[in-house]
């Protein structure tokens, strides 16, 4: 009896041979090219990771540190370890994100470093990526018109004057005069950079719903219960025109509540922890920071 040997059928090799025949090259040259391309991609990825680690451990230049000390008042109160982390995140942010001046706004080192430092303040307690979806920061000199025929306006959008915006398409828009307002008063609970970049954190999972990516699945239940309860309480206070620690704009929706609560967490931590201890504890667990201790 004749024994027949079954040759394994490699579907991927068949596809490669067909493609090679179409382009007029031997299949093995295409295979080698694919291996080389994979090796180059791996080396580039490794080099990028090494570059990012270097940026995260490199101190700021004296000029940039002077900007941070002058324009981001919490910096001087941070523990040394958090100051080092903030400087590393600033380096990474400025290396990876682009800035564009709009409406005549000049993009200087002060503009870039000031915005980067405040944005990265949200990251220093968490071992996270540096806003992976973000690509560009558009900076206007003053408040700007959005909607209608303005920035990102669609047919159904009514024009409105805005201080800043955060988009899931990888863009944050800021008015520089509003950024400067946050610089001058870092304890009033109003900070456009903290506000818009907390939206970026919220949008990392693809939706702006007031729930950012949390550490573990078990965290979502606690977050939902606490933030939901606090939001409903907040809506009642706003409806009665009561004075609140959190800006009344947070009553717009859950996403805005998270953003305005973040502003209060960093700028009015003592008041927020006293009047909303559960909310403060939830934000403390998310950001892995305790601004009350910063003094």
Q: How far apart are CA 71 and CA 50, in angstroms?
A: 30
- Domain at 254, CATH number: 3.40.390.10
- 10 CB-near residues (< 8 Å, 6+ apart): none
Q: How far apart are CA 174 and CA 159, in angstroms?
A: 17
Angle, CA of 181, 196 and 266, to the nearest 5°? 65
Tokens describing residue 147: 């909607």
Together in a domain, 181 and 67: yes
Together in a domain, 177 and 241: no
Per-residue model confidence as pLDDT tens digits over 86-101: 999 999 999 999 999 9
Residue 12 or 113, more confident:
113
Per-residue model confidence as pLDDT tens digits over 152-210: 444 456 667 778 999 988 999 999 999 999 888 888 899 999 999 999 999 998 889 99
What are the angstrom distances between the C-alpha of 55 and each of 52, 88, 210?
5, 6, 31
Tell me whether strands 171-175 and 136-140 are parallel, antiparallel or unpaired.
Answer: parallel
Together in a domain, 180 and 90: yes
**Among candidate residues 127, 151, 185, the one where a domain is terminated:** 185
Full domain range(s) for residue 236: 209-295
Total domains, the chain: 2
pTM of the shown model: 0.81
Residue 41 lies in a domain: no
Residue 204 lies in a domain: no
Together in a domain, 65 and 158: yes
**Among candidate residues 185, 217, 240, the one where a domain is terminated:** 185
């Amino acid at each position: 009896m004749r024994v027949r040997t079954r040759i394994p059928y490699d579907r991927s090799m068949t596809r490669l041979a067909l493609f090679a025949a179409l382009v007029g090259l031997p299949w093995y040259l295409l295979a080698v090219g694919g291996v080389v391309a994979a090796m180059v991609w791996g080396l580039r990825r490794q080099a990028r990771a090494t570059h990012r680690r270097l940026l995260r451990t490199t101190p700021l230049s004296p000029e940039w540190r002077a900007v941070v000390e002058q324009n981001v008042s919490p910096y001087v109160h941070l523990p040394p370890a958090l100051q080092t982390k903030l400087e590393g995140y600033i380096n990474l942010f400025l290396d990876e994100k682009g800035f564009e001046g709009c409406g005549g706004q000049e993009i200087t080192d002060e503009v870039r470093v000031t915005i980067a430092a405040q944005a990265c303040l949200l990251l220093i307690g968490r071992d996270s990526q540096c806003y992976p979806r973000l690509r560009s920061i558009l900076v206007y000199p003053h408040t700007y018109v959005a909607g209608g025929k303005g920035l990102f306006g669609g047919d159904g959008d009514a024009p409105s004057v805005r201080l800043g915006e955060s988009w899931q398409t990888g863009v944050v828009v800021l008015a520089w005069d509003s950024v400067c307002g946050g610089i001058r008063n870092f304890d009033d609970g109003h900070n456009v950079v903290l506000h818009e970049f907390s939206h970026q954190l919220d949008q990392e999972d693809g939706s702006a719903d007031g729930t950012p990516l949390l550490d573990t699945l078990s965290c979502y239940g606690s977050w939902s219960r606490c933030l939901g309860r606090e939001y409903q309480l907040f809506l009642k206070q706003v409806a009665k025109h009561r004075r609140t620690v959190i800006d009344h704009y947070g009553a717009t929706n859950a996403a805005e509540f998270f953003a305005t609560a973040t502003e209060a967490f960093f700028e009015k931590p003592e008041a927020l922890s006293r009047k909303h201890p559960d909310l403060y504890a939830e934000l403390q667990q998310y950001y892995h920071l305790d601004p009350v201790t910063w003094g």
